[in-house]
Structure 1
Amino acid sequence: MGFTEIEAVKVHFDFRQADFIGDVQSFDVSPVEVASVTDVDAMILKVKGDANGAMGGHIPLIFQTRSHPRDALLMIHHPIAQPTQFSSGTCAVAREQSDLPDHAPNLRHMCETFGGSSGALILDADERVVVGLHQGTDVKPDARGRLDGFNIGFKFDPVNVALGLAFEPLNVVEGRLDGVLALRGLDRKRAVLEDVASRYPGTKVAARAAGMLQALPERDIDSEALAALEAAGKIADPTRRKAALDQVGRDFDGTQAARQAKRLLALMQPKQKTRDEHATDWLVLALRITDDAWQRALLESIVSEFDGTAAAGSAAAMLAKMAVAKPVPKHVVEPIPSNGPNVAMTVKQDGSGDFRTIADAVKAAKPGARIEIYPGTYQGGVDVAKTLDLIGIGDRDKIIWEAKDDNVIHWTAGSGRISNLSLRQLGGEFHSVNFDGGSALLENSDLTSQGWAIVVIHKGADPVLRGNVIHDGKQGGVMVLNKGRGLLEKNEIYGNALSGVSVKTHADPVLRGNVIRDGKQVGAMIYEEGRGLLEKNEIYDNAYSNVEIRTAADPVLRGNVIRGGNYSGVFIHDKGRGRLEHNEIHSNARNGVSIGSEADPELRGNVISGNTGHAIEIYDGGKGTIVSNDLRGNVRGAFDVEITAGDVVRRDNQE
């Protein structure tokens, strides 16, 4: 172009008509970028002055993660030297988008564009939130000379991650609205709704929040009643407690809390019941209580006062499960003597070993070699295509292996071992460990990722993950997809921004004895024809449902403890199936199990108790076979089968 530097940059707003520029407002722009990422063809520049104030604010900081073919789009763009252009009508996600995997960053679209349109925001025409950025075109003439192809760009999710923007995914915001009804107290509900309505003006989700605000009652009688009931239950003096419970029954007559107060009063009256019967009555009451401290105190009382009864045994078991899970213990690994032809190779950062870098050791190693990695911080990812043992020696917290814009480990070998390491993926569209068609034992390691899912298992890979801590990922914890398999055993998976474990597209893993907790969305998500066996896991305190099954997924859940979710314990919808056997599902903020939108699961031998809503809710064409379950002790009862439900088989349940 003939120039070596940019002296000045300006931005013009409200250039809407070629023959009238009276409303145009111009601002100087700093020519030095705040941030830029070539992988997604995007940068941030700083506009000088108060452009937000002059233009009435900024676009809502929210984006659509979905990009299904033919989804309607809207594009506002500024071709070179032309006024603002609006592309709509035929503007949509291209049908060729379905040729890409879901995790691909690319966006293919059919919006009308011109020279200079690149960099324009693409919006969801229905939700009016950002979907992606336009980049260019891939339109070519076919054999008859007709134009064929699509425009290209990038989804906004990778742009948001790459540039460190503060845009929030639409599905996360919608999840906050979905969880409002489970919140106790009008003030908490109102705060969430007002925040969404004010933060994302002009969007459909903001309009929904505003409508929910208008629909809020002046008083939350149920919450007031429940608070009064809990306060009464904590009174130590029996006479004062009885008077307080009687007051709850009279002041809040007709509420669930009033009915519980009356049942509690009845239990306090002397009756000719056996000791076992009294113990069972108190246990059923304890299961209905939502306050953790009060519930724990009552369970402890049952254990001490009714020692030797079946109810006391159940109370003791429940107390044990309420205890906070202990972290997966660390293992300090010692070096082993090298015998045979494959001598152990050592990696030491200070140069005293055979190699300074892990990559050099992997490159030099013969199949079957053991590579011992000593304390230090190592940089750069590796591809492992031969059988190797990668073993950390010493305290794993001091053996740190990092990679940015790469997988820490990309594993395609048929077998091998990864042990006692701290793996840190620092950003980009990559994973800490990518099992790409291979297999290995990954054990006793600490893993996190600021890029994509911490561990991905796909293309038929069949690894074993045992005793690891998989935590605080910027996206998901473990993703199993595209016929991936694997055994996940005794891992602790927590604090991840998306699902703790995701299973999709004909994947069929086994999860046994894991703790999946404190996720910012769903604990375990099985969807898009995923399968799998989840057995004897503890899944709790996740921000959405603890387990979600949808879109023709068909897993088996057996012997799990599923508790403390901020929605239903298990949410099955969108034609999801599944078999739930002998699980304990308790203390969830809504229902134990919710079944909707043509889902058709089978539930046998489960104990579903202590949930704030019903044991089982069925609606919107949901079906199910529900046999021999214990559904007692839920705040709103055993079943809520709405008139919109489909065919439901109910037999031999305790209600």
Structure 2
Amino acid sequence: MRPLLIALTLLASTTVFSAAHAQGPAEFDPSDFGKIVIQPRQAAGGAGGFVLEQAFGDYQNEPIIEYGENSPAVRLGRPIGRLDMLFSNGKTGFCTAFIVDDQHILTNHHCVPGMDGDPSGKDSGVQAAQLVMGFIKPGRSEGVDRYTVSPQIVETSRELDYSVLRVFGNPSTKYGKLELAEENPEDAEFLWIIGHPQGQAQHISREGCAAASPAISDEGKLVHTCDTLGGNSGSPVLRITDKRVIGLHHAGDSRTGFNMAIPMTRIIPQSKVLKAAVGPHAEGQQVAAAPVPQPKPKPVEPAAVPDPEPVPTAAAPKAAPAGNQCSALWSEAKLLGCAGYEAYVDECGDHTFASMARRVIQRECSIPTVAPADGDTKVLTVKANGGGDFDTLAAAVARAEPGSRIEVYPGTYTQGIDVSKPLDIIGVGNMSDIILAVANDNAIEWTAPSGRISGLTVRQTGGKYFGVHIAGGNVVIEDSDFTAAELAVIAIRGNEGATIRRSTIHDGAQGGIFVFENGKALIEDNTIFGNGLGGIEIKEGAAPTVRGNTIRDGNGSGIFVNVDGSGIIENNTVFNNALAGIEVKSAYDVILRGNVVRNGQQGGIMLSDGSTGRVENNTVYGNAFSGLEIKSDANPMVTGNEFRDGQQSAIYIHEGGRGVLENNSIHHNAFYGMSVRGDSNPIVRANTFSDNVYEAIRVREGAGGTYENNDMSGNGAGAFLIEADAGNVIRRGNIE
């Protein structure tokens, strides 16, 4: 590995040009827009030594594929793509961008406004844009995906040289997301940069790639020695230790011999999108997982992030009062309240208690924004420190008239609430500061005919109780955070209806959400992770709709439809669970539709014990066992799915499993496309089997079945392997 360049310690006094001097992205021929393999025609440069990227000595930015398709580097780089742009003025450009959440990507500001720039920073000048993902093999476009990018900029900053863009089609379900760091790198810390230099296949800079010493210049830039070229603009700077993004690469200065990035500690506080990505639900992000992830400890609730230190400017700093004066002002601030705390921060921003004062201001002094209540609705306020109508939530619930709205302000409330009358219970302020923490009782018991809970953090901290027990009536629960110490986080039974949406349900000692005894629910757009059993379990006549959730990192199945359960399970993302991603056992007429089930520690989807249902249009990949397992007389309809990149056979039918499987795409699996054994008798028709390591279909041990009109060409060992002990196998019309 090359030594770091000399004189690193001189950087603190080095003047670095602003990103405002940067030109736009490098160009390619407009006729190449929409293609994967392109020929760049220009590298962007800059006056006065300032360029977008540069190499140091021997160029050591290597094609990432050289490390192997299953290498940690390739897996880490999956959320990173090439951003191709066709500008309204007929010019073209490409940069690097990476996925930060389900809808957004991050790149440089100087990439997007076009070659002429844009003073407002909002009109991108882009006629069309696409995000190219999975381009890792030089000169080869197979396996590459294109996603449309909106030309309208979501967020941008010329000073910090970043832009957030909207991407359609949710590429995160296939490629994951990168985690963002909220701290600066250490001096001389080793780094990686992954991107698309010159618009070519993904490259990695790792040899000689490190932060300078000091890592952060006087102008607030992250200075590094990683080799880059045109097209690397917008690449993430990744810390090796935890694979998080610590900077957004954007420029270099040939006079000083360093490249530069904007630290994420400066960008995140300015971006609503990025703050949400690393906020209370940051556990929902995913660096591309290894094929067989190891069990992870339960996520720890993130600590509050202090306000970032301001970047020094040319103006002379304001003289701070002496330490004893600040101590005296602190005492006065506590007596005066919000005005005192604000004065304290203004005068003593660097003093010992400044971060505490900022936290108090954030929690208690900002003006909360909530939708106004209807004119006829009675509003009660709950403030733990006094000043409201009540200082405990339990008292407010007990005394509120039916139909009232209870507004709960920051504080910790320790008594469980029993809601038997229609109420709206709404958190006012930062959800993470409005805490209902209850031991030896259900935190919330709900039997009211209607009502709503929103904006709360609910912690059931001990005893054989649920976090929320919906035992009757109807309720909407949204935009909240829940956990429970010993039982399921949310239990739903014998009720008229419940909607659970946009909430985080995590770290339950048993399941996340348990719907049973004919419970009724719509469960949508939640993040569910780290639970001891199933992320969602359904049984005993319950038939909820489960839609659009992310369910991950559980110690059981992601979704478990158990005895006599049913329901519609659609458009969920399920990954890295210890058992099957979705398991259906002794359940009937279950619909599994449009889900992404990936990177499970065992199988993808499993149906057993006579289960019936429809499995359609799901994408199942990267699981340690089979993508689909059908056994013990289960008899589903399986159509229009993709089963790929599994570490065993894509589909495993055994122990008398049946079913109709048609119009599925089954490819690139480590064993067979389909393995059938043990008195099983499926109907398999009009499927495409390709690029599986062994035969497309193996049949053995008394199994039979009908196999017709399948395309089975192009598998490693041929079309069929019919063992001598197989049963009655009917084959007709197949392309072998």
- Separation in 2, partners of 1:355, 1:439: 26
> What's the CA shift for 1:364?
1.3
Q: Taking every aligned residue pair, what percent have the same amino acid on both sides?
A: 36
Correspondence for 1:345: 380
For residues 153-172 of structure 1, the aligned pairs below 5 Å read none
Change (3 A) 1:337 1:630: closer
Q: Which amino acid aligns with 2:665?
A: D
Q: Which amino acid aligns with 1:653?
A: N
Correspondence for 1:35: none
- Separation in 2, partners of 1:389, 1:293: 49
Residue 493 of structure 1: which of 521, 528, 536 is its match? 528
Q: Which amino acid aligns with 2:383?
A: K
Preserved contact between residue 328 and residue 468 of structure 1 (Cα < 8 Å): no
Residue 467 of structure 1: which of 502, 515, 532 is its match? 502
- In the TM superposition, what whole-angstrom CA distance separates every residue of 1:315-368 from its partner, at most 9, and x where no partner exists? 997676231488697699624555534331001111210011111111111111
Correspondence for 1:367: 402
- Separation in 2, partners of 1:373, 1:317: 35
- In the TM superposition, what whole-angstrom CA distance separates every residue of 1:83-136 from its partner, at most 9, and x where no partner exists? xxxxxxxxxxxxxxxxxxxxxxxxxxxxxxxxxxxxxxxxxxxxxxxxxxxxxx
Preserved contact between residue 328 and residue 491 of structure 1 (Cα < 8 Å): no
> What's the CA shift for 1:529?
1.2
Residue 592 of structure 1: which of 609, 627, 637 is its match? 627
State the secondary structure of the residue aligned to 1:301: coil
State the secondary structure of the residue aligned to 2:541: coil
- Separation in 1, partners of 2:483, 2:396: 23
Change (3 A) 1:634 1:352: same
- Separation in 2, partners of 1:441, 1:434: 13
Residue 174 of structure 2: which of 297, 321, 333 is its match? 321
Correspondence for 2:320: none
For residues 28-107 of structure 1, the aligned pairs below 5 Å read none
Q: Does 1:300 align with 2:140?
A: no
- Separation in 1, partners of 2:172, 2:373: 48
Deviates more, 1:358-367 or 1:324-333: 324-333
- Separation in 1, partners of 2:623, 2:469: 34
For residues 610-625 of structure 1, the aligned pairs below 5 Å read 610-625=645-660
Preserved contact between residue 465 and residue 489 of structure 1 (Cα < 8 Å): yes
Larger relative CO (CA 8 A, sep 6+): 1 or 2? 2
Change (3 A) 1:439 1:289: farther
Q: Does 1:650 align with 2:684?
A: yes
Q: Which amino acid aligns with 1:652?
A: A
Residue 537 of structure 2: which of 502, 518, 529 is its match? 502
Q: Which amino acid aligns with 1:648?
A: P
- Separation in 2, partners of 1:277, 1:391: 49
Correspondence for 2:472: 437
- Separation in 2, partners of 1:633, 1:314: 22
> What's the CA shift for 1:304?
7.7
- Separation in 1, partners of 2:69, 2:147: 16
Q: Which amino acid aligns with 2:680?
A: G
Q: Which amino acid aligns with 1:651?
A: R
State the secondary structure of the residue aligned to 1:397: helix
- Separation in 1, partners of 2:537, 2:277: 22
State the secondary structure of the residue aligned to 2:647: coil
- Separation in 1, partners of 2:70, 2:636: 27
Preserved contact between residue 276 and residue 310 of structure 1 (Cα < 8 Å): no
Correspondence for 1:524: 559
> What's the CA shift for 1:554?
3.5
- In the TM superposition, what whole-angstrom CA distance separates every residue of 1:217-262 from its partner, at most 9, and x where no partner exists? xxxxxxxxxxxxxxxxxxxxxxxxxxxxxxxxxxxxxxxxxxxxxx
> What's the CA shift for 1:406?
1.1
Change (3 A) 1:388 1:631: same
Q: CA RMSD for the aligned pairs?
A: 3.1
Preserved contact between residue 534 and residue 555 of structure 2 (Cα < 8 Å): yes
- In the TM superposition, what whole-angstrom CA distance separates every residue of 1:134-193 from its partner, at most 9, and x where no partner exists? xxxxxxxxxxxxxxxxxxxxxxxxxxxxxxxxxxxxxxxxxxxxxxxxxxxxxxxxxxxx
- Separation in 2, partners of 1:553, 1:527: 10
Preserved contact between residue 458 and residue 485 of structure 1 (Cα < 8 Å): yes
Quick check: which one's helix share is greater?
1
Change (3 A) 1:543 1:341: same
Q: Which amino acid aligns with 1:640?
A: S
Preserved contact between residue 419 and residue 447 of structure 2 (Cα < 8 Å): yes
State the secondary structure of the residue aligned to 2:611: coil
- Separation in 1, partners of 2:463, 2:395: 23
Preserved contact between residue 552 and residue 575 of structure 1 (Cα < 8 Å): yes
State the secondary structure of the residue aligned to 2:665: coil
- Separation in 2, partners of 1:323, 1:616: 24
Q: Which amino acid aligns with 1:579?
A: R
Correspondence for 1:641: 676
Residue 582 of structure 1: which of 617, 621, 629 is its match? 617
- Separation in 2, partners of 1:317, 1:339: 37
Q: Which amino acid aligns with 2:682?
A: V
Correspondence for 1:512: 547
> What's the CA shift for 1:637?
2.4
Preserved contact between residue 507 and residue 530 of structure 1 (Cα < 8 Å): yes
Change (3 A) 1:337 1:542: closer
> What's the CA shift for 1:369?
0.6
Preserved contact between residue 656 and residue 679 of structure 2 (Cα < 8 Å): yes
> What's the CA shift for 1:556?
0.7
Correspondence for 1:106: none
Change (3 A) 1:499 1:319: closer
Deviates more, 1:528-537 or 1:334-343: 334-343
Correspondence for 2:422: 387
For residues 418-437 of structure 1, the aligned pairs below 5 Å read 418-437=453-472
- Separation in 2, partners of 1:292, 1:508: 40
Change (3 A) 1:336 1:635: closer
Q: Which amino acid aligns with 1:582?
A: N
- Separation in 1, partners of 2:498, 2:278: 19
Change (3 A) 1:303 1:362: farther
Correspondence for 2:440: 405
Preserved contact between residue 481 and residue 504 of structure 2 (Cα < 8 Å): yes
- In the TM superposition, what whole-angstrom CA distance separates every residue of 1:423-455 from its partner, at most 9, and x where no partner exists? 011122211111112111101101000021000
- Separation in 1, partners of 2:392, 2:172: 48
- Separation in 1, partners of 2:530, 2:556: 9
- Separation in 1, partners of 2:482, 2:556: 19
> What's the CA shift for 1:647?
1.9
Residue 376 of structure 1: which of 411, 433, 438 is its match? 411
Q: TM-score, normalised by structure 1?
A: 0.53
Preserved contact between residue 534 and residue 556 of structure 1 (Cα < 8 Å): yes
> What's the CA shift for 1:289?
5.9
> What's the CA shift for 1:381?
0.9
State the secondary structure of the residue aligned to 1:463: strand
- Separation in 1, partners of 2:138, 2:592: 33
Preserved contact between residue 496 and residue 519 of structure 1 (Cα < 8 Å): yes
- Equivalences, count: 373
Change (3 A) 1:528 1:319: closer
Correspondence for 1:268: none
Q: Which amino acid aligns with 2:442?
A: N
- Separation in 2, partners of 1:566, 1:335: 42
Preserved contact between residue 515 and residue 537 of structure 2 (Cα < 8 Å): yes
- Separation in 2, partners of 1:317, 1:419: 26
Preserved contact between residue 276 and residue 311 of structure 1 (Cα < 8 Å): no
